[in-house]
Structure 1
């Protein structure tokens, strides 16, 4: 799942594949390279700044430290690492088809992207499972702070184990004078092991979690839209019911965006296994750069979605960028992230707890406390 290392041009002499000149059959005109570099640079900047801001908003404000938001931090961290350690290096490799970064980084670049993708999509799956329990089964025990950290650590460990084979078999080779970073599976002349590994990856880091999230959010949506809060009931319960619906819409948009961005990338590698001739076509470089940009762009959309659809994150972004002349924070922004509900509000939550259970919005622990072991911060159905 690494860079497009197999792209070569059989009609080009070995002199053009010289590693010393940096010129290959796939070297682009300067203007074309500049356009692609600008597109990738914009992607990296938006992804790094956006995800770093999301992490700051949650970790720097006690009210935002809920179970759901810890999984969002994990998702943002994976996207941040992907944008920082994978995008630029893979772009340089794909734009020249020469590996400049040494043996150690070759192993790393074949390890870390798979880890990041796994962590991203299973963080989304954990959020879906957490919301499923909170809304569909509000009386069941919920994850504690320690349990949440254990799940996050488990996600990273499984991701490491899944990515390790590709890292282990990474190798530096020289093809017609050009250095390449490849995955060299032993006794795999027909590429069957590599194909099987990629198919297993696609199932585990794409198809399976998407199916799980589709089922979970379908049940959640049916529960929320089927059960309404009677008009004469407490206003707070009705507000939280609406917030739960908005949260589901936000996370569904996050999941759908991820699925769309990564689908062409997975299809590209499956097609390449059955039609290896496509790697000898000059146009495949442009196709790969476009597909790879789309896949990597999944790292930058989530902060934009949070900012557009969630008022607390919108307040956090205004506070984070208040030094910019075009950003004007309002007084309510700081209160959104730091304000602790008054005693009267807590009593009101306890009074309306039975109504919240009726509509299936929150678990007992969330009606009063927004996080395990933390101060009251509102209902954690909201990001």
Structure 2
């Protein structure tokens, strides 16, 4: 899958031989149209960079926010901001001008990094789903430690780099007077066995498989959290705990659905192109590609908005980060959300919760206090 520079656009249908060993741009756009697309793509970069950098700051600057789930959110935010910074603007310039200005080295990086970042993003989401599954379905089993979480993140990036390496290795620049194109030159040319196998493998590994994992885990978690009633005599602490878990799971489900929706048209576009290359010769295809690519890249800017809307602590963190704005006020509740640690005692990822159980014995109520281990 040519996820970045889209060599099909550059070498196949954007250029046509005029009989003098030169090429002409058949899809040149008027200035007003280029300006509208530039504004749309600039919006992605600005919102993504500001939002994801703020998310990273909120988590790393506040000890209370440094949880297993949030470490994966940091990795997800880093992947998104990197994609927006190193891919979105460059690919937009290439698609608009149909000329690669950035040299061979960046051509290789441009084909390598987006697959790496996409893999890191979606497997961070999958790791969060598995972590939530273990915390809610198997609360007494050991959770990931901070060190183990960092090791998992490192493994995700190593596997991502390995998967993206063929794109980097076969990427190159070719001069078609008067323009230069950046493309992945597969050993048996585009549409051959190598390219097709790689494209199918990438789609399965960075889209279908992790989404399947998240579908299963969140379905089981959702059934546990929403499919059963909270006991009527449950303590307020227990009820608040369930509600908090529901909010976190709901937030992550929205993140996953947004990611899947944004990237689905992009994957379909390349799958169709693999079987019918003629679609790239249609006059309207450049506008279709720019719209599909915008939707895919826009996935990098939605997560901070989702966190802010659906999570009180992130909302408090955003207020603190932007407290210099005249219309944003930081309350004492915001400070408490981020600074105050839990008041109950924690030991080795478990905490002791004391609840009262009422039993009837010989017609009299007898209240026994028991302690049970709950996952921290």
Match of 2:285 in 1: 284
Are 2:151 and 1:150 aligned?
A: yes
Moved more, 23-32 or 213-222: 23-32
Matches within 5 A, 1:210-229: 210-229=211-230
Match of 1:63 in 2: 64
> Quick one: distance in 2 between partners of 1:11 and 1:71?
46
Deviation at 1:176, TM superposition (A): 4.3
Q: Which runs of 5+ in 1 are unaligned?
A: 356-361, 367-383
Match of 1:373 in 2: none
Moved more, 181-190 or 248-257: 181-190
Aligned residues: 354
Match of 1:351 in 2: 353
Match of 1:296 in 2: 297
Are 2:105 and 1:104 aligned?
A: yes
Q: Secondary structure at the match of 1:201?
A: helix
Q: Is the 8 A contact 2:52 2:80 kept in 1?
A: yes
Q: Secondary structure at the match of 1:231?
A: coil
Match of 2:119 in 1: 118
> Quick one: distance in 1 between partners of 2:239 and 2:137?
17
Match of 1:204 in 2: 205
Deviation at 1:363, TM superposition (A): 7.5
Match of 1:4 in 2: 6
Deviation at 1:228, TM superposition (A): 3.2
Deviation at 1:141, TM superposition (A): 1.3
Q: Secondary structure at the match of 1:6?
A: helix
Q: Is the 8 A contact 1:86 1:109 kept in 2?
A: yes
Higher-strand-fraction structure: 2
Q: Secondary structure at the match of 1:351?
A: strand
Deviation at 1:190, TM superposition (A): 4.5
Deviations 1:98-151 (A, max 9, x none): 111000000000000000000000000000000000000111111111110100
Moved more, 226-235 or 173-182: 226-235
> Quick one: distance in 2 between partners of 1:277 and 1:296?
25
> Quick one: distance in 1 between partners of 2:373 and 2:320?
31
Q: Secondary structure at the match of 1:171?
A: strand
Q: Which runs of 5+ in 2 are unaligned?
A: 358-371
Deviation at 1:279, TM superposition (A): 1.6
Deviations 1:75-116 (A, max 9, x none): 000001000000000000011111110000000000000000
Distance 1:270 1:280, change over 3 A: same
Deviation at 1:188, TM superposition (A): 3.7
Q: Secondary structure at the match of 2:7?
A: coil
Q: Secondary structure at the match of 2:141?
A: coil
Distance 1:198 1:344, change over 3 A: closer
> Quick one: distance in 1 between partners of 2:85 and 2:58?
20
Q: Is the 8 A contact 2:14 2:98 kept in 1?
A: no
Q: Secondary structure at the match of 2:325?
A: coil
Distance 1:14 1:126, change over 3 A: farther
Q: Is the 8 A contact 2:235 2:355 kept in 1?
A: no
Larger Rg: 2
Q: So what's the TM-score if we normalise by structure 2?
A: 0.89
Match of 2:366 in 1: none
Match of 1:322 in 2: 323
The RMSD of aligned alpha carbons is 2.3
Q: Is the 8 A contact 2:173 2:183 kept in 1?
A: yes
Matches within 5 A, 1:1-383: 1-7=3-9, 8-9=13-14, 13=18, 24-188=25-189, 190-342=191-343, 350-352=352-354, 364-366=374-376
> Quick one: distance in 2 between partners of 1:183 and 1:354?
66
Q: Secondary structure at the match of 1:174?
A: strand
Deviation at 1:247, TM superposition (A): 1.3
